[in-house]
Amino acid sequence: MKKRILSGMRPTGKLHLGHLVGALDNWIKLQDEYDCLFMAADWHALMSEYEDTALLSENTLDNVLDWLSAGIDPNKATIFIQSHVPQHAELHMIFSCITPLGILERCPTYKEQMREVKTRDLNTYGFLGYPVLQAADILLYKADKVPVGQDQLPHLELTREIARLFNNLSKKETFPSPDAILTKTPKLLGLDGRKMSKSYMNTINLSDTADLITRKISTMFTDPKRIKLTDAGHPDICNVFSYYSIFVPEVKNDVYNWCSNAKSGCTECKKRLAAHIIEKVAPIQQKRALLLKDKAGLKKILDEGAKKASSIASETMKEARKAINL
Ligand code: TRP
Ligand code: SF4
């Protein structure tokens, strides 16, 4: 029996290169070795962006299309939309009865968002319970492993705590204690050198045209000490160089040489990088164009995914209800 993995993404906008190297590439590798469930967490998107849901279902389908285009294979993994499996909400409700307020209020991701996010009002009952829903997502499938980035580790810790609480209170070992699979990818920074994020408008999206990618890369910050073409550059502090390391490691040494020996200018260096990135996203975009033509095919994948997920989820819910005498 393969071990089970569950992971999810919150569909709040277009997927970008950060999602590709930070999560998707890893999911693609895991789908052979594990029984994988990949979920578009639209209820989580609602918790954080409830004020404007106009694009919610469009973003959700758009993200799933990007997953499939990048290589997530519906014959290997179960792909579904969270809100299509209502058991997530039921387990979330039960967990919310046993989760102490303090551990939610102390959660570092919660505190950070409350401090940092100024454009949306996150002072809601639902947003505080964001990690409780995530615990339900994971435990509903009794996942053994959860591939996540570093920032999500507190949510996994909370998941284990909630499982422990439920098991102790009901004196039954209903839920296992899942482990994180930490994605070891180097952090991909955005065009401006900050974390790549939609809210900083510094992303390169998987769906960007070749022109747009070239234009965006031309605006990237480089080694600030390299002013003239004859100045030697310092690739180690240049974001353009870190893109080479991540996306085209095979030419990394050449770039290091041109740069540190001032053999090539930054404009040229960026043009070449753009060509490599365009080459990397081209097959994803071609596949996407094909998938877009087959709306019924996408619906079928998601219907089958929800059906498979539901059948596991309903078994777990039977056990969970029984454990607490519902
Ligand atoms: N909170 C996760 C994020 O923002 C998304 C998510 C929702 C998730 N449910 C999950 C990740 C379950 C792993 C497992 O990245
Ligand atoms: Fe960065 Fe390339 Fe310019 Fe060197 S040549 S500073 S690696 S953009």
Residue 264 has pLDDT above 90, yes or no: no
Separation CA 129–CA 110 (nearest Å): 9
Same structural domain, 82 and 182: yes
Structural domain boundaries enclosing 146: 4-188+295-323
Q: Which two tokens stand for residue 24?
A: 């998707």
81 and 102 assigned to the same domain: yes
Measuring from atom 14 of ligand 1, which residue has the nearest CA? 7
Asked if 11 and 150 sit in the same domain, the reply is: yes
pLDDT in tens, 156-172: 999 999 999 999 999 99
pTM score:
0.95
What is the sign, positive or negative, of the torsion defined by CA atoms of 137, 141, 147, 151? Answer: positive
Please give the Cα distance from 77 to 28 (Å, whole number).
9
Together in a domain, 88 and 103 = yes
Each residue's pLDDT tens digit, 23-61: 999 999 999 999 999 999 999 999 999 999 999 999 999
| Residue in 40, 34, 52 with CA at minimum distance from that of residue 9 | 40
- CA distances (Å), 239 to each of 24, 185, 198, in order? 22, 15, 18
Structural domains of the chain, count:
2
Looking at per-residue pLDDT, the higher value among 158 and 1 belongs to 158
Q: Spell out which residues line ligand 2, taking CB within 6 angstroms.
A: 222-223, 226, 233, 235, 238, 240-241, 255, 259, 264, 266, 269-270
Q: Name the E strands within the chain.
A: 4-9, 35-40, 78-81, 145-148, 179-182
Task: Please write the tens of the pLDDT for every residue from 91-124.
Answer: 999 999 999 999 999 999 999 999 988 889 999 9
pLDDT confidence bin for 199, thresholds 50/70/90: confident
195 located within any domain = no
Same domain? 172 vs 282? no
- Tell me, yes or no, whether 17 lies in a domain: yes
102 belongs to a structural domain: yes
Q: How far is the CA of 135 from the centre of ligand 1 (A)?
A: 9
Using alpha carbons only, give the angle 115, 120, 123 rounded to the nearest 5 degrees.
65
Query: Which CATH number do you get for residue 233?
Result: 1.10.240.10
Q: What is the 196 CA–ligand 1 centroid distance (Å)?
A: 18
Query: Over the stretch 173-196, which tens digit does the pLDDT of each residue have?
Result: 999 999 999 977 778 999 999 989
CATH number of domain containing 39? 3.40.50.620
What separation in Å is there between the alpha carbon of 194 and the centre of ligand 2?
Answer: 18
Closest residue to atom 8 of ligand 2, CA basis: 266
The answer to whether residues 126 and 79 belong to one domain is yes
Do 138 and 228 belong to one domain?
Answer: no
Q: Which protein residues touch ligand 1 with a CB less than 6 Å away?
A: 6-10, 41, 44, 134, 137-138, 146, 148, 152
Ligand nearest to the CA of 139: 1
CA of 220 to the centre of ligand 2 (A): 10
